[in-house]
Structure 1
Amino acid sequence: MPKTRSYNDKKFWELLKEHRDVIVKPTNGSGGAGVIRVIASGRKKFSVHREVKKRKFHSKRKLIRYLRKKIGKNSYIVQQRIHLAKYNHRPFDIRIMVQRRKRKPWKVTGRLVKVAGPGYIITNTARSKGKVIPLKRAVKSSAVRKKLNKIALRATKCLSRHYRGLRVIGLDMAVDKKKKVWIIETNFAPATSLFLRLKDKSMYKRIIKYQKR
């Protein structure tokens, strides 16, 4: 998982100094709202990317003032940015659905790729006007696809020991440019509508079937 801290000025600077490229985002956000990328591009030079807008700052004070204004009184985290692999020059991440029937083992029931829209860093398709495609189209390596399944199942089993009664988890995962697999975040009430946007509706039907049992 990417290194993650609750946001405050000190932790933000520590993580930015270590990784030079971080994501600042709300803890309870959805749809990619409020996500800000910050890059340390030189001594007292910082680049900020929010939505499709880009800005540059030449002092720490001005950067922090900008972040405080955007964050307000909301709860945020700061996270090491993963350099996502790209599909047609646009970053993408992967939604993996893991479900189980009562007293049955966890199963991967759906996988798809969310490709960011032009100029966006977020992969939420509604906000960035991105698109959904089958996993095989973006991740050619069968070994990497198997690894995604394996890690998703291991993470789900671990979470289910702490959150009793779970029947479904949607994991947002990523593959970086070196084909390393990452878990970005997990969702306990993941939307199924993304799978309707695939031409092949078999995964959507399987997901719904699992929900009914």
Structure 2
Amino acid sequence: MPSPTLGIMALYLNGGKIEEMSYFRKLSQAGTRLGIRVVVFTPEDVDGATRTIRSWIWRDTEGRWIRERVRFPDIIYDRCRFQRNHRFQLLRKFRTDYPELRQMSRPLLHKWGIHQVLYKNKRIRPYLPETVPYSTPSALLKMLERFGLVYVKPIDGTGGRGILRIERAGDGTYRIQGRDRSRRIIAPFTVSDRQLGARIARFMKVGRFMVQQGIQIKLEDGRVHDYRLLIQKNGSGQWEVTGSAGRIGARRSITSNLHGGGSAVPTRKLLAMRFSSEETIRGIQEDMSQLAHLIANHIERQFGSMCELALDIAVDGKGRVWLIEINPKPAREVFSRIGEKETYRKAVQRPLEYALYLLKE
């Protein structure tokens, strides 16, 4: 009997490349050990007339990817990240044209939509920074009056792109810094309240934005930090926290993303830099884990079966845990960077174990 096939669905980038091929190679190698065949494809590779796809398959013996036409896979692992172009429309069409194909997860809403969904849950609500859609400069100023610090984010942004950090500096002035849509660092500058609307409008030419209460997460050296927690379905179909890691942003960066120059640190080590009590550190980690399960179960009730979620978490100076955002298509290299090899192995292998569980069911 042939091995079942897991189809990893991705999107081409400009230039015809596919993101995450290194991760897909590791999935393919793990799939060989577990008895599930892994193929990679995009909606552009699909031939609906023959129900086949021109896929990418990793050949370990040759150490390279080859192209091979195969039948539609038994189950699909969607790794498609948002793009503002025709490729994302093709992805939507594929999902509409083939609803019968078994999926390991479901597409979620943009950041503002997710915030609204999470806010409905009374147990999750205390973990959410206050967030509103961006409307007018005067409304932004009211948020700054309340909190002193806010973040302005594109509702469909990823990887720290297009985020502004605005902090009240005193004497009616505000300090702005951030990253543009290409992830380039925007050097800090100061504006008056009258200049604020015009200056930030330059960064908001495309798309919609939201304003989020800022949490003070700067370390003593001025760099920002947060925590990435990964929760996944295991081989029994149950949610389980795979691991977490701290992230410290590059100097002058308002985000901690590794792709933006950030570095990875074990969670306990980073917490110990700010809290001396072991009881406090243990309580924070337990709170993070409890939040992850609350969110995973709530998201599934709203959208249907999911495979994995990553939480970006901030911890303020009092030890309070805050949810910054969730990511349904998470990377997992952060565990490799902190030397947690077993956690990284689990993070790679669990989607395959869950796929096999679904196929048995």
TM-score > 0.5, shorter chain as reference: yes
Aligned counterpart, 1:76: 209
Q: 1:99 to 1:32 in 2, by over 3 A?
A: same
2:3 pairs with 1:3: no
Q: Cα deviations across residues 161-200 of structure 1 (Å, max 9, x unaligned)? A: 1121211001101111111001100011111222222212
Q: Aligned partners of 2:166 and 2:129: how far apart in 1?
A: 15
Aligned residues: 211
Aligned counterpart, 2:259: 126
**Greater fraction of residues in strand:** 1
What does 1:159-174 align with in structure 2 at a 5 Å threshold?
Answer: 159-174=299-314
Aligned counterpart, 1:200: 340
Contact 1:93–1:173 (Cα < 8 Å) also in 2:
yes
Give 1:139's match in structure 2, choosing from 271, 287, 290.
271
Give 1:58's match in structure 2, choosing from 165, 189, 192.
192
Q: Aligned partners of 1:20 and 1:144: how far apart in 2?
A: 25
What SS does the aligned partner of 1:37 have? strand
Displacement of 1:17: 2.0
Hey, which bits of structure 1, 4+ residues long, moved more than 6 A? none
With normalisation by structure 1, the TM-score equals: 0.92
Give 2:239's match in structure 1, choosing from 106, 122, 127.
106
Q: Aligned partners of 2:315 and 2:240: how far apart in 1?
A: 21
Aligned counterpart, 1:34: 162
Q: Aligned partners of 1:94 and 1:101: how far apart in 2?
A: 22
Contact 1:22–1:81 (Cα < 8 Å) also in 2:
yes
Give 1:149's match in structure 2, choosing from 249, 270, 289.
289
Extract unaligned runs of 5+ from structure 2: 1-127, 179-184, 273-280, 354-361
Displacement of 1:45: 1.3
Give 1:190's match in structure 2, choosing from 313, 318, 330.
330
Q: 1:42 to 1:138 in 2, by over 3 A?
A: same
Q: Which amino acid aligns with 2:243?
A: G
Give 1:23's match in structure 2, choosing from 148, 151, 159.
151
Contact 1:87–1:138 (Cα < 8 Å) also in 2:
no
Q: Aligned partners of 1:89 and 1:55: how far apart in 2?
A: 16
Contact 2:234–2:240 (Cα < 8 Å) also in 1:
no
What SS does the aligned partner of 1:208 have? helix
Contact 1:116–1:125 (Cα < 8 Å) also in 2:
yes
Moved more, 45-54 or 201-210: 45-54
Q: Which has the higher contact order (CA 8 A, sep 6+)?
A: 1
Q: Aligned partners of 2:290 and 2:202: how far apart in 1?
A: 41
Displacement of 1:90: 2.6
Contact 2:235–2:350 (Cα < 8 Å) also in 1:
no
2:217 pairs with 1:90: no
Q: Cα deviations across residues 77-132 of structure 1 (Å, max 9, x unaligned)? A: 110001116376532111111111376321101211111111222111221x2201
Moved more, 196-205 or 81-90: 81-90
Over the aligned positions, Cα root-mean-square deviation in angstroms equals: 1.8
Q: Which amino acid aligns with 2:131?
A: T
What SS does the aligned partner of 2:217 have? coil
Q: Which amino acid aligns with 1:175?
A: V
Q: Which amino acid aligns with 1:55?
A: F
With normalisation by structure 2, the TM-score equals: 0.55
Moved more, 45-54 or 82-91: 82-91
Max Rg structure? 2
Q: Aligned partners of 1:5 and 1:102: how far apart in 2?
A: 38
